[in-house]
Structure formats: C-alpha cells, structure tokens
Structure 1
C-alpha cells in the first residue's frame, strides 16, 4: 500500500506510491458515496487496491531500460533516497531477498494543505503479494502530525518493445484525506507521477545500462 514526496501524500503501502504519465482513471466522489473507477484495478497475484477507497489514482509510463534494472531499483527499497528526492529515510524491517512478507519503514515530507499542516509521514509498508519481475502489492499505515493514511499500492511491470511498461495503482483511506477528496487525489496523482519520472530517470541513466 502500495507507495509521497514534497508534492504528494503517499503511503507505501502503497507507494507505491503510490504512479505516472498516462492517467488511466481517477474518480472523485463525496465521502459516503460509492466509488466507481473507469479503469480496472491493477492486481498482483489476484489482489488489487481498496475498491471502497474514495482517493485513488492509476497511471503508467514506458521506461527504456532492462526489466532487471527497473526491478532492482524498485525492490532495493533502502536505496530509494539515492534516486527519490523526497524519500528521507528507508529501513528494511526484515532481511534477505525482497519477498512476500518483507516490511520497511520510510519517511517523506508532506506539504501543508487545507486539512492538515506540513508534516513528515512515517510509513510502514508490508509486501502482501509479489511476483519477481512482474508485480508488487504492499500496504500499510502512514502517520504524521494530525494525519493518518491507510494505503494500498500495486505495481505491474510488463516488457514491451523497447523497454518496460510500469503501471501503478494506489488508494488512500482515512478521515483527513476523505475530508477533502479532490485535494488528496491531486496530491496522490502528483506523487505517483513524480515517482515514475524519477524511476524512469534513474533506470535510463547510462550508469545503469552499461554491459555487464
């Protein structure tokens, strides 16, 4: 849950984020109403985002880099601060390969908005589904001053001609974000788009694409 920057609320959990460049579908509805999204939820091993969440964004981009490079950047969570400008810290809470059950705690700033002050979110994300080089789904709470978000974040990685299509879908729930769904959705959208832009920049950098 499944993924926030200085321009975003996100709980990796989310995460991721959580994502960018072609908006495939976001619905904004008043609190208490039924949320309906024109785009089908992304899934990982059959599980998707929260279907009842009012705050949701789904987007994607094509990255011109090998799948192994993109996967390593995304799965090596402790190195996120080296390529994501607004990720302040990341600590794995388990050891070994990134897998189902892996958990990590990370921090990221959130700008002030009409319902909450500027704060830093501490996000605890747990990987609930994962298929190597194919998909990740994580979820968990993000907590800051006057703010709690529960997020679910799904990532899909699909090889296409010339690169990899990276798609992401994220939902947020919580009293503060549900008090202003349009603003929360905008912040989520901006955060996911920034995440994908920075993932694309890092993966396409010449240092990541030298022959081994």
Structure 2
C-alpha cells in the first residue's frame, strides 16, 4: 500500500490506494485485475503479508521500454509529476533506488470519520529489489486517528510489445480490518489508478522517444 515532513509511519504501504478510495476517485482499468491468485508476487523470495485480510493484485501491459517504465517507477521525487494523488515525495537517501532506501511522501486525506487530519504521511523503506525486475517496500501510513501497515510488491517483465507490470499489496490495521470489503475496494481503486497513471506516462514518453 508510495518528502520528509512530519512522518507518521509507513515504510512501504501504497497509501495512494487508500486516499483514492476515500476520494471516491474512479480509476480507469489498467489491465486484467483480480484480488485473488494462487500464488503471491515476490521480490527476491519475499512477498506480501500472508496473514493480511485486505489484499489486491493487478497487472497491466505497458507499451514502452523496460528502462522507461523502471525509471519512472523508481524516480520517487518525480512521482507528483505524473501521479495526481501524490502531493509530495522525497528520497531520504541518495543515488539510484536500492535495498534500504527510504522515502517520505504525502497525499491529501479527504474528510472521513476516522480523523480530522487532511494529509496522510507515508515513510517507505525498500526491503528487496532487483534492478529492472522487482521491488518490495513495507511500512505504515498515518494520520491522527488512522494507522495502516502495508506491504507492496512490484514485478516488471519485458515481453513482446512492452513490459508486463504486476503489483500486489496487503493492508493491515484496526480501520481496514474492521471493514475488509470496503478496504479491499479502496485498495483496488488505488492500485488500478497507479498502474493507469504509470501506463499513461510511460507510453507518452515512449512515443516522444520514437519521434
């Protein structure tokens, strides 16, 4: 389940999904999507939280070179350029993204009964990574009265015509565990939206590179 200001806690959760759902954003389909698979995605042998009740997995074929897709996804500081739900994003270390990298990001939090806060703070830590192939980050997202722990895995595979991007995420926490169907729907909206935005910007960049 995505700057370094006041950091709630959150090392890898994709909280964009949470916010998109709270906003009621209708994310465009990014490709074949489902929340249940026989096996979970992994990166260097590590996957999502096997005990989480809230989980979602989806994928999309992106018609762009692998290097373009990978650079967009791992250039954290530029996420706000192509992801409207990301208000700020900042690496807390330097150089190419690597195992142990930490990044802080924020996203607007619309009115909801769990909190009076207007922004969600996320601090993500990369736990596993294989450049050009996969990345896994973990951690929590926080606002006053709201806490979610998440694990997010991304896989990238070069195929004929582009890159197959697959992603899976789990959420745990009092608020999401209290209403698993609603929390899963929120997560689905967020991940589908993220993939849609990544596909849109990557394919636009690929067209520019060809011209």
Which one is further off, 81-90 or 202-211? 202-211
Report SS of the residue matched to 1:7. Answer: helix
Whole-Å Cα distance in 1 between the matches of residues 49 and 169 of structure 2?
Answer: 8
1:157 alignment partner in structure 2: 156
2:62 alignment partner in structure 1: 63
- Cα displacement (A) at 1:109: 2.1
Report SS of the residue matched to 1:98. Answer: coil
> In the alignment, is the contact (CA less than 8 A) between 2:108 and 2:120 conserved in 1?
yes
Which one has the bigger helix percentage?
A: 2
Report SS of the residue matched to 1:105. Answer: strand
When normalised by structure 2's length, the TM-score is 0.84
Count of residues paired in the alignment = 192
Structure 1 portions without partners, runs of 5+: 10-18, 27-37
What per-residue deviation string (whole Å, max 9, x for no partner) do you get for residues 76-103 of structure 1?
0000000000100011111111100000
What per-residue deviation string (whole Å, max 9, x for no partner) do you get for residues 27-46 of structure 1?
xxxxxxxxxxx431100000
> In the alignment, is the contact (CA less than 8 A) between 2:72 and 2:202 conserved in 1?
yes
Match of 1:21 among 27, 31, 40: 31
Q: Call closer, same or farther: CA 1:134–1:161 in 2, change over 3 Å.
A: same
What per-residue deviation string (whole Å, max 9, x for no partner) do you get for residues 65-122 of structure 1?
0000000000000000000001000111111111000000000123445655674210
> In the alignment, is the contact (CA less than 8 A) between 2:13 and 2:171 conserved in 1?
no
Structure 2 portions without partners, runs of 5+: 1-11, 23-28
Whole-Å Cα distance in 1 between the matches of residues 179 and 115 of structure 2?
Answer: 10
What per-residue deviation string (whole Å, max 9, x for no partner) do you get for residues 122-150 of structure 1?
00100000000000000011001211011
Q: Call closer, same or farther: CA 1:171–1:203 in 2, change over 3 Å.
A: same
> In the alignment, is the contact (CA less than 8 A) between 1:2 and 1:155 conserved in 2?
no
When normalised by structure 1's length, the TM-score is 0.83
Which one is further off, 69-78 or 118-127? 118-127
2:143 alignment partner in structure 1: 144
Whole-Å Cα distance in 2 between the matches of residues 184 and 7 of structure 1?
Answer: 11
- Cα displacement (A) at 1:168: 0.2
1:39 alignment partner in structure 2: 38
- Cα displacement (A) at 1:57: 0.4
Whole-Å Cα distance in 2 between the matches of residues 204 and 95 of structure 1?
Answer: 27
Report SS of the residue matched to 2:148. Answer: strand
> In the alignment, is the contact (CA less than 8 A) between 2:33 and 2:57 conserved in 1?
yes
What per-residue deviation string (whole Å, max 9, x for no partner) do you get for residues 188-207 of structure 1?
10000000000000001147
What value does the CA root-mean-square deviation take over the aligned residues?
2.1
